[in-house]
A = this chain, B = another copy of it.
């Protein structure tokens, strides 16, 4: 995740610089054919010439476009010339299969070259036995720093952080600092601010590079640093860190341990990935899909979906039992069977709309108490108005279709009731789940549509029953 950005395409191997990607933006068949030729010929020089100029994101796309045996051949042939940062850019399933197949000693050599955040990203999914073996083959300093990151909980800021950063004492001048930066070869590849620490690495302040650049050589760092910088606790969730980045438009932030010692830094590129992951998670959870990736196997996909399909089966049977209560009513007029799904379906749709808006607002932390009250009342009013509009429409359609104004009135009444329930449930159920510290995205969909199915069928059939009794 750290290579210097060059052009988007390879420039070697006698292939035009723009040939890596075709017009759809995917790796082109022609470029891949060239790589496959080199793979089959075992031509290491040509392989290096093709792969070496690539940004790690492009190299990742190339790896994904290959078959598993080709991927392994590429890594094996390139040996130490293979840049493991490409593996941070591929799907989890692709990475797991490939890592599984590469000897631990090779992985250790590759990981040693990476920035700490990339190394942790690769190591965290390797099973503990292999991981220990790989860590033991790393130099002591790297091993300890990676182990410390891996000790933080999954999805925490400590896991995502980069442990290389520039830390200087407050009594240095701008000139001293510039000289230090020019002299030291062992600095991180990319950095956006300089950290000012005491001898115990407690964070005293930060200095952005642009401010630093604009200051004269004899100015003391302590006089220009931001002495009250935002920080992120290492144990905090990456989502929380992402919110801090978003809210304050940060590019880099210091990560501190319980004793406010600087242990690493988080940069925006990692946070962008977190934001995308969280959005995908929300979208998939609302639809009853687990943490699934496009590269998952059939079995993985089945596993991630079966739970909610089972829940849906139970709730569908529940709705079916409700209908069963009205067998006698349906026998009196079989048209009811054809009409009842309309009421249920409209309620389900309206509820999904309301629920989606609510769940997203909760995920984005947009709702304070005042906005919650406003949202609830808005959604109830929207429910009533939608109910009225569609009651009139479906009432007219039903009256015309069956030549029966009574039946039109029955379905209209059921529609108003169900649309109001849909609006209310769509906003209240996610809020309730959130209050109970459950993820509102996970269960809202099934709960809400079950409710609108049951209410839809019940309202329509019971009103129809009453109407039969009366007339």
Interface residues in chain A, defined as those with a beta carbon under 8 Å from any beta carbon in chain B: 1-2, 4-8, 24-27, 55, 57, 64-65, 91, 178, 181-182, 187, 189-192, 208-216, 226, 228-230, 245-251, 268-269, 271-273, 275-276, 279-280, 282-284, 286-289, 292, 294-295, 297-298, 301-302, 305-306, 308-309, 312-313, 315-317, 319-321, 323-324, 327, 330-331, 334-342, 344-346, 349-350, 352-353, 355-357, 360-361, 364-371, 375, 378-379, 381-382, 385-386, 389-390, 393-394, 397, 453, 457
Are B308 and A353 in contact (CB-based, < 8 A)?
A: yes
Given contacts A229-B5, A272-B275, A356-B287, contact A214 B341 (CB under 8 A): no
Report the separation of the CA atoms of residues A228 and B338 in the bound assembly, to the nearest whole angstrom: 65
Are A317 and B334 in contact (CB-based, < 8 A)?
A: no
Q: Nearest Cβ in chain B — how far from A395, in angstroms?
A: 12
Are B57 and A313 in contact (CB-based, < 8 A)?
A: no
**Which of B306, B341, B356, B397 sits near A283, CB closer than 8 Å?**
B356
Given contacts A269-B249, A276-B275, contact A316 B335 (CB under 8 A): no
Report the separation of the CA atoms of residues A212 and B283 in the bound assembly, to the nearest whole angstrom: 42
**Which of B5, B212, B230 sits near A226, CB closer than 8 Å?**
B5
19 residue pairs from A and B, CB less than 8 Å apart: A7-B230, A57-B248, A209-B210, A246-B272, A246-B273, A249-B269, A272-B272, A275-B276, A280-B364, A288-B353, A292-B357, A294-B366, A294-B375, A298-B385, A301-B379, A309-B346, A312-B346, A317-B397, A330-B334
Are A228 and B7 in contact (CB-based, < 8 A)?
A: yes
Are A249 and B191 in contact (CB-based, < 8 A)?
A: no
Are B284 and A357 in contact (CB-based, < 8 A)?
A: yes
Are B320 and A214 in contact (CB-based, < 8 A)?
A: no
Contact residues in B for A279 (Cβ distance below 8 Å): 275-276, 279, 282-283
Report the separation of the CA atoms of residues A266 and B430 in the bound assembly, to the nearest whole angstrom: 36
Are A286 and B283 in contact (CB-based, < 8 A)?
A: yes
Are A344 and B341 in contact (CB-based, < 8 A)?
A: yes
Contact residues in B for A268 (Cβ distance below 8 Å): 251, 268, 272
Contact residues in B for A338 (Cβ distance below 8 Å): 320-321, 323-324, 327
Contact residues in B for A368 (Cβ distance below 8 Å): 24, 26-27, 64-65
Given contacts A57-B247, A305-B386, contact A357 B316 (CB under 8 A): no
Are B342 and A317 in contact (CB-based, < 8 A)?
A: yes
Q: Find the B residue at minimum CB distance from A311.
A: B349
Report the separation of the CA atoms of residues A94 and B213 in the bound assembly, to the nearest whole angstrom: 38
Q: Nearest Cβ in chain B — how far from A140, in angstroms?
A: 27
Report the separation of the CA atoms of residues A65 and B1 in the bound assembly, to the nearest whole angstrom: 39
Are B213 and A213 in contact (CB-based, < 8 A)?
A: yes
Q: Nearest Cβ in chain B — how far from A22, in angstroms?
A: 9
Contact residues in B for A317 (Cβ distance below 8 Å): 342, 397
**Which of B24, B187, B228, B271 sits near A6, CB closer than 8 Å?**
B228
Report the separation of the CA atoms of residues A371 and B457 in the bound assembly, to the nearest whole angstrom: 42
Report the separation of the CA atoms of residues A323 and B250 in the bound assembly, to the nearest whole angstrom: 57
Q: Find the B residue at minimum CB distance from A325.
A: B338
Q: Nearest Cβ in chain B — how far from A470, in angstroms?
A: 22
Given contacts A309-B386, A382-B302, contact A5 B248 (CB under 8 A): yes
